């Protein structure tokens, strides 16, 4: 297997209208805000204590550990986001703060390499005695990712050494007799170890990740029996009770055919599986990845790229169980899905994975963050009636408005690191080729056939199907440019410089040879808004339609359409009208859908009546799903009834 490379973030600049505002938010808003949070200096957020925990662990402060057992990961994700942010904008002060934080981490680390402030402070005898929920390996994985990111962008290897020392301890510990069948309860360290291997070349890290995957779900099943061990430490009840499928340890990994259990744990594991399949040329493992991908995308994924439909246990349930109003679809799970799809595309060179990656990024991931960068969705419903989302009810987990920084702050920093590293999703490189994955304006350089080639991408996506890729130094070039023609592109046409306009297929990478003459490749396609139907086995969507335009799923909001969006019936005989609204939500394409709306009636007819409610002709305005809840709070609806 020939795995394509992601581009170094130092080599790419985002110049995109659609995404640029988000990546700017990360630098200007989120990173400084989170730094204040980490230091307990942000009154609008719940107390984090993260930095303080490190100070206590290093002996520089006194006090009790505060926060979740995985509190340290807030700092890890912050450092990773900082690294990515520094790649597109130098910021000496920020880098200085990051360096100081890294030094503090180093001082908190135990001489043997152990690093986890919860256990260092609170349960010094308890390390690695609760893998199911102790989260030490999960935390380690995030610090490994941060370490590699920081090293790649800044060239500084302090955090890298800290995490190598930690990884050495893990490799040693988890090959001792006691731990020879052990695996982490929350997957993530596998990704971290693989990244560390890629940065350092130390194969034992890769081998450790492989062992964790190969051990999982096999007998004797460490996670199932862990709490019977004499030295088991009771740290955190999430979930209670534990069931093996929750942690994907109910079956050997290679035998798993359906996505199950906690969605974030699942997709993080699939990422590692894909990496390992490529690293070991392991076709069986790759086949498992393909099977799981198909199960997710053909049976368990929302139109918006959301996954994990149960609020309780934040988990996958069963095929076609995709309720719109009580779902979970955690932002972090869609991030993990995008990471998995990126890896699958790198390995297989198949654009189908990019379609899913794009869906997740443009819809669920972007919906996760407010347009002012100050609040976040953890849970991503497709239908909301704010009054129904009561605390102390069966849909108390669904929040009708984005939340400020939480005590359990997994999603916001995860969204931040994803947006900050968007460049890694945009294109791939290999020795003799470059691959453009997403239609996002940017400039980047890549080494092709030994020469550095500079490219610029200008696009009118996601609202219009026009992309122009320019080669800024054509005299250097040879090799191939692969441009992804999205599956939703209608009648795509390619033109190289002033040459012939050529038809191309959709849903592929179109190959264009790089020549010394080639300056510009122009891609045009139409991308009308389309009504979408779900498989009739998705009970929740029967009799309903959604609207998609290109990568964007659209939604009705109360702000445009008044209350009770459910009473609207779309007339799918009429094509949605596309209207670009310059003043709305920073400028966006809206859609006008014709239809009918049930009248409420006279209020005298009772809750149930034998007379069909009357209806009136009307139209509904739809906005991109990712922009919902950026005006006043109110109802939102993706799947409309079809008239």
Which residues of the chain form contacts with its own copies (CB under 8 A)? Answer: 239, 243, 246, 297-299, 301, 303, 309-313, 315, 317-319, 321, 323, 325-326, 328, 383, 385, 387-388, 390-397, 530-539, 542-543, 546, 564, 566-567, 569, 572, 598-601, 605-613, 641-642
> Could you tell me the sign of the dihedral formed by the alpha carbons of 66, 67, 72, 77, in that order?
negative
Report DSSP state, residue 318. Answer: S
| Residue 407 Cβ vs its own copies, minimum distance, rounded to whole Å | 16
What lies within 8 Å, CB to CB, of 610 at 6+ separation is none
φ, ψ at 279 (rounded to 5°): -65, -35
| Residue 409 Cβ vs its own copies, minimum distance, rounded to whole Å | 22
What is the number of other CB atoms lying within 10 angstroms of the CB of residue 277? 25
| Residue 526 Cβ vs its own copies, minimum distance, rounded to whole Å | 14
Q: How far apart are the first and last CA of the chain?
A: 49
Contact 178, 110 (CB under 8 A): no
Q: What tokens were used for 470?
A: 């320019």
Residue 312 vs 579, nearer CB to its own copies: 312
Cis peptide bond prior to 64, omega within 30° of 0:
no
Contact 572, 622 (CB under 8 A): no
Rounded to the nearest angstrom, the gap between the alpha carbon of residue 311 and the centroid of all alpha carbons in its chain is: 18
> Could you tell me the sign of the dihedral formed by the alpha carbons of 397, 400, 402, 406, in that order?
negative
How far, in Å, CA of 114 to CA of 106, rounded? Answer: 10
Burial class (CB in 10 A: 0-12, 13-18, 19+), 62: exposed
Residue 174 vs 328, nearer CB to its own copies: 328
How far, in Å, CA of 148 to CA of 247, rounded? Answer: 26
Burial class (CB in 10 A: 0-12, 13-18, 19+), 444: buried
How far, in Å, CA of 62 to CA of 117, rounded? Answer: 13
Contact 162, 111 (CB under 8 A): no
Q: How far is CA 538 from CA 74, 302, 312, 321, 465, in A?
A: 37, 10, 20, 6, 31
What is the number of other CB atoms lying within 10 angstroms of the CB of residue 207? 17
Q: What tokens were used for 575?
A: 């094509």
Residue 11 vs 46, nearer CB to its own copies: 46
| Residue 42 Cβ vs its own copies, minimum distance, rounded to whole Å | 26
Residue 220 vs 606, nearer CB to its own copies: 606
| Residue 567 Cβ vs its own copies, minimum distance, rounded to whole Å | 5
The residues annotated with a catalytic role in the active site are 314, 410
How far, in Å, CA of 204 to CA of 199, rounded? Answer: 13
Q: What tokens were used for 430?
A: 């290999």
| Residue 352 Cβ vs its own copies, minimum distance, rounded to whole Å | 10
Q: How far is CA 112 from CA 106, 168, 172, in A?
A: 12, 9, 11
| Residue 304 Cβ vs its own copies, minimum distance, rounded to whole Å | 10
Please count the residues of the chain: 643
How far, in Å, CA of 160 to CA of 145, rounded? Answer: 9
Q: How far is CA 543 from CA 7, 535, 536, 546, in A?
A: 44, 11, 9, 11
Residue 397 vs 484, nearer CB to its own copies: 397
| Residue 49 Cβ vs its own copies, minimum distance, rounded to whole Å | 23
> Shortest CA distance to 315 belongs to which of 372, 356, 254, 262?
262
Backbone φ/ψ region at 627: left (φ over 0), alpha (ψ -120 to 50), beta: alpha
3-state secondary structure of 511: strand
How far, in Å, CA of 421 to CA of 80, rounded? Answer: 9
Residue 428 vs 525, nearer CB to its own copies: 525
How far, in Å, CA of 635 to CA of 383, rounded? Answer: 7
| Residue 245 Cβ vs its own copies, minimum distance, rounded to whole Å | 8
| Residue 456 Cβ vs its own copies, minimum distance, rounded to whole Å | 33
| Residue 57 Cβ vs its own copies, minimum distance, rounded to whole Å | 32
């Amino acid at each position: 297997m020939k795995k394509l490379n992601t581009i170094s973030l130092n080599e790419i600049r985002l110049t995109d209208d659609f995404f640029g505002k988000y990546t700017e938010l990360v630098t200007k808003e989120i990173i400084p805000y989170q730094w204040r949070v980490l230091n307990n200096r942000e009154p609008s957020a719940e107390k984090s204590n993260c930095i303080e925990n490190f100070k206590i662990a290093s002996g520089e402060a006194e006090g009790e550990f505060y926060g979740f057992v995985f509190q340290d990961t807030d700092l890890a994700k912050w450092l990773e986001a900082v690294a990515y942010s520094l790649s597109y904008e130098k910021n000496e002060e920020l880098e200085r703060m990051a360096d100081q934080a890294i030094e503090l981490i180093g001082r908190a680390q135990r001489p043997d390499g152990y690093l986890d402030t919860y256990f260092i402070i609170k349960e010094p005898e308890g390390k690695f005695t609760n893998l199911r929920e102790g989260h030490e390996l999960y935390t380690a994985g995030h610090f490994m990712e941060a370490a590699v990111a920081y090293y790649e962008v800044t060239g500084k290897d302090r955090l890298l050494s800290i995490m190598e020392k930690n990884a050495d301890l893990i490799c040693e510990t988890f090959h001792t007799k006691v731990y020879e069948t052990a695996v982490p309860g929350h997957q993530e360290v596998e990704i971290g170890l693989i990244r560390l291997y890629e940065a350092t070349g130390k194969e034992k890290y890769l081998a450790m990740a492989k062992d964790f995957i190969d051990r999982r779900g096999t007998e004797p099943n460490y996670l199932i029996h862990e709490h019977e061990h004499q030295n088991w430490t009771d740290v955190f009840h999430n979930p209670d009770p534990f069931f093996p499928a929750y942690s994907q340890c109910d079956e050997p990994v290679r035998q798993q055919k359906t996505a199950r259990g906690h969605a974030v744990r699942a997709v993080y594991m699939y990422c590692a599986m894909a990496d390992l399949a490529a690293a070991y040329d392991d076709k069986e493992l790759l086949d498992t990845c393909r099977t799981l991908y198909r199960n997710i995308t053909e049976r368990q994924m929302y139109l918006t790229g959301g996954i994990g439909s149960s609020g309780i246990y934040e988990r996958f349930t069963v095929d076609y169980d995709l309720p719109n109003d009580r779902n979970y679809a955690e932002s972090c799970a869609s991030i993990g899905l995008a990471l998995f799809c990126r890896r699958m595309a790198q390995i297989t060179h198949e654009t189908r994975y990019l379609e899913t990656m794009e869906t997740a990024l443009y819809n669920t991931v972007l919906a996760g963050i407010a347009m002012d960068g100050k609040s976040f969705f953890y849970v991503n419903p497709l239908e909301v009636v704010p009054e129904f989302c009561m605390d102390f009810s069966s849909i108390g987990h669904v929040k009708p408005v984005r939340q400020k920084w939480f005590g359990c702050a997994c999603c916001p920093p995860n969204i931040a690191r994803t947006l900050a590293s968007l460049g890694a999703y945009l294109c791939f490189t290999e020795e003799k080729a470059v691959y453009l994955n997403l239609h996002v304006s940017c400039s980047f350089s890549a080494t092709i056939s030994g020469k550095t080639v500079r490219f610029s991408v200008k696009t009118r996506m996601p609202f219009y199907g026009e992309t122009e890729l320019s080669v800024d130094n054509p005299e250097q070039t040879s090799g191939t440019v692969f441009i992804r023609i999205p599956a939703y592109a209608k009648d795509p046409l390619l033109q190289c410089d002033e040459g012939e306009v050529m038809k191309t297929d959709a849903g592929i990478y179109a190959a264009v040879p790089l020549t010394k003459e080639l300056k510009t490749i122009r891609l045009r396609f139409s991308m009308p808004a389309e009504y979408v139907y779900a498989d009739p086995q998705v009970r929740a969507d029967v009799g309903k339609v959604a609207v998609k335009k290109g990568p964007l799923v659209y939604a009705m909001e109360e702000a445009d359409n008044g209350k009770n969006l459910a009473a609207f019936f779309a007339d799918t005989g009429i094509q949605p009208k596309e209207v670009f609204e310059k003043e709305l939500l920073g400028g966006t394409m809206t859609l006008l859908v014709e239809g009918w709306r049930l009248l409420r009636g006279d209020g005298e007819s009772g809750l149930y009546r034998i007379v069909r409610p009357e209806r009136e002709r009307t139209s509904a305005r739809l906005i991109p799903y990712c922009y919902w809840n950026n005006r006043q709070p109110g109802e939102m609806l993706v799947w409309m009834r079809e008239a």
